[in-house]
Structure 1
């Protein structure tokens, strides 16, 4: 915006050269100066302008260059204080808006969302993602959100909406009736279902969601363990004997710490899968399983210590 000198006490050229790409709205700092009849209003691409007179929206301008006369701003001429038809300077608050896309905004669930699932009952789910937005209705955005600001950045807007998105996402997710197992495995499908459910809440602010993405969904440990078990069962196939041995190996492997457990499960499963092609007899496999159960019982009853138990278990597994 040009800076008037004492010789030109009125605003003659009104413009905004955007230096900060994060600004959504900026009020022209007029210093209580009036706008000169015939002043130039410059609105660049990706900008829009709103004129406010005594708290009432007077007019909105898209990109272009305008000469401020009554004939091209008919709404202004009908408001209180415009009886002179711009023959003399006039006063108005001028707000610039950036109507480009603001991208890669972050959202997340600060607390787990509780969902009802037909298979697991009540389940706690955390989710995180990104979204892109743009202002599509200046009047609504100004009235419902931005009217009290002299300058508004996307960071302030994002912070305000972060707490707003989480519960709306929870309601949308619950209403979509997506199984909790499908959340982890079908993120792209979830994105398509959630976006139209979230958009109506943004419409109230004059905002359009151009993209809404769920980047990750964290399920409870018990659900993840169940999912891993189903995956392991699918790997073993329909052979009930293999599946029984797989469950035995999984149960035994729970003795270690959480990091060891995952490794042991993979080793046990690999051993059992390898047996299908190794020619080891069922009798040998049954004998090893019995030995593992016996040393586990000895350890639980305090007849051998932990180091002896682990060493013996490793020895039996090495022979499979």
Structure 2
């Protein structure tokens, strides 16, 4: 907005020509009141300041006419890329992380739709009112409404990426009423980002990794392996870096191997041998770390002796049904009946 004259008021004469350009509006104030709003084009102004006669009539006032007038030119275009953001972090009650502080920023677009209302309520009697002045005030209004809207729509930051549009739409509806009090129209509002503190971001990243990995123990071992890899890349000497580089595959295999023993390596002679691959494993292990064979026996196949998982209906090795009682096996040499799964005959000792 720009005011003519920039200071005080003028003696606009009767018949003065007012030229208003495109995307502008001219508001004519006469004797302290807005008497007309003019669109693009040339217009003739009518006042009581008649040339020559006004000077004679204004002698009691020092040849200065008391009939003062001024014109305000208001830009009616859409102002784009106006910035808004939080100067100080705002408090947010997260359902999973507790009370945290957030920062947010974005852009918005607006335009003047009621020039007289805009001048009377926001501009006042200032000679010049710039876009930066309006944007600085409205940015504070946006941040205030943003705090309320965020608490109504969002319960946890984990759902934030899917709620940007919903937050922006509800926030825009609230702000249109606030902007309308000043004769302004909010055309668009965009949320650039909502950022928590660094430590909260780290907690969210760790939680995401846990959901992908599914095991806290494996997450800790993965971080330990990453630390070893970083140390190998920043080794003091070429020999150290080469040695760590050769050790990396074995280290990763050890850290990332699924194990229910908490990552402990059994000492020589401790534990017992896996019945599948004969590797030494801890006594409290549920699965063999070498072949993955199940060590906790819920039941065994009556035909071949394979360890079965709970509720298994068929044996994964021989395919026999676990719900039907198998028949005894006759020996091919002597004809004696043997238990299912027998490898040698209990009478003659011949292989079955």
Name the TM-score class by shorter chain.
0.5 to 0.7
Secondary structure class of the residue paired with 1:205: coil
Classify the secondary structure of the residue corresponding to 2:15.
strand
Task: Check 1:168–1:290 CA distance in 2 against 1; reply closer, same or farther (3 A cut).
Answer: same
Once residues 142 and 227 of structure 1 are traced to their aligned partners in structure 2, the CA distance between those partners, rounded to angstroms, is 48
C-alpha change, 1:31 and 1:99, in structure 2 (3 Å) is same
Asked if 2 retains the 8 angstrom alpha-carbon contact of 1:184 and 1:218, the reply is no
**Cα distance in 2 for residues equivalent to 1:196 and 1:116:** 23
Structure 2 residue 289 is matched with structure 1 residue 289: no
Q: Which of these residues, 45, 51, 59, is aligned with residue 36 of structure 2? A: 59
TM-score (norm 1): 0.60
Q: 1:132 aligns with which of 101, 104, 109?
A: 109
Aligned residue number for residue 311 of structure 1: none
Higher relative contact order (CA 8 A, sep 6+): 1
Structure 2: runs of 5+ lacking an equivalent: 55-66, 232-248, 266-352
In 2, are the aligned partners of 1:27 and 1:151 still within 8 Å (CA)? no
Match of residue 267 from structure 1: none
| Secondary structure of the corresponding residue to residue 122 of structure 1 | strand
Contact 1:187 1:215 in 2 (8 A): no
Please, which of 173, 181, 188 is the counterpart of residue 211 of structure 1? 188
- Counterpart in the other structure of 1:192: 169
2:209 maps to what in 1? 232
Point out the structure with the larger helix share.
Answer: 1
Let me know the Cα RMSD of the aligned residues.
Answer: 3.8
Q: Where do residues 137-286 of structure 1 align in structure 2 (5 Å cutoff)?
A: 137-177=114-154, 179-184=156-161, 186-236=163-213, 243-249=215-221, 252=224, 282=258
Q: 1: CA distance between counterparts of 2:91 and 2:225?
A: 31
Distance 1:247 1:43 in 2: 69
Dislocated runs of 4+, deviation >6 Å: 253-256
Q: Deviations over 1:183-231 (max 9, x none)?
A: 3554344323322222222112111111111111111345423432342
Q: Deviations over 1:98-133 (max 9, x none)?
A: 111111111111111112233333221110111111
Change (3 A) 1:109 1:235: same
> Where does residue 99 of structure 2 map in the other structure?
122
Q: In structure 1, which of residues 49, 54, 59 is the aligned counterpart of residue 26 of structure 2?
A: 49
Paired position in structure 2 for 1:102: 79
**d(CA) in 2 for partners of 1:91, 1:29:** 13
* Alignment partners' CA distance in 1, 2:216 and 2:9: 83
- Report how many aligned residue pairs link the two structures: 232
Q: Structure 1: 5+ residue runs without aligned partners? A: 1-23, 70-75, 77-81, 261-270, 292-320
- Which residue does the alignment assign to 2:281? none
Query: Helix, strand or coil for the counterpart of 1:60?
Result: strand
Do 2:102 and 2:194's aligned partners in 1 also have CA atoms closer than 8 Å? yes
TM-score, normalising length: structure 2: 0.55
The reply on whether 1:37 has 2:11 as its aligned counterpart is no
Does the Cα contact within 8 Å between 2:13 and 2:50 map onto a contact in 1? Answer: no
Instruction: Call closer, same or farther: CA 1:217–1:53 in 2, change over 3 Å.
Output: same
Q: Distance in 1 between matches of 2:177 and 2:35?
A: 27
Report the CA distance shift for 1:193/1:246 in structure 2 as closer, same or farther (over 3 A).
farther
Query: For the structure 1 residues 68 and 147, does the alpha-carbon distance in structure 2 shift closer, same or farther, using more than 3 Å as the test?
Result: same
The alignment partner of 1:172 has SS state of helix
Q: What is the SS of the residue equivalent to 1:247?
A: helix
Quote the offset at 1:29 in angstroms. 4.5
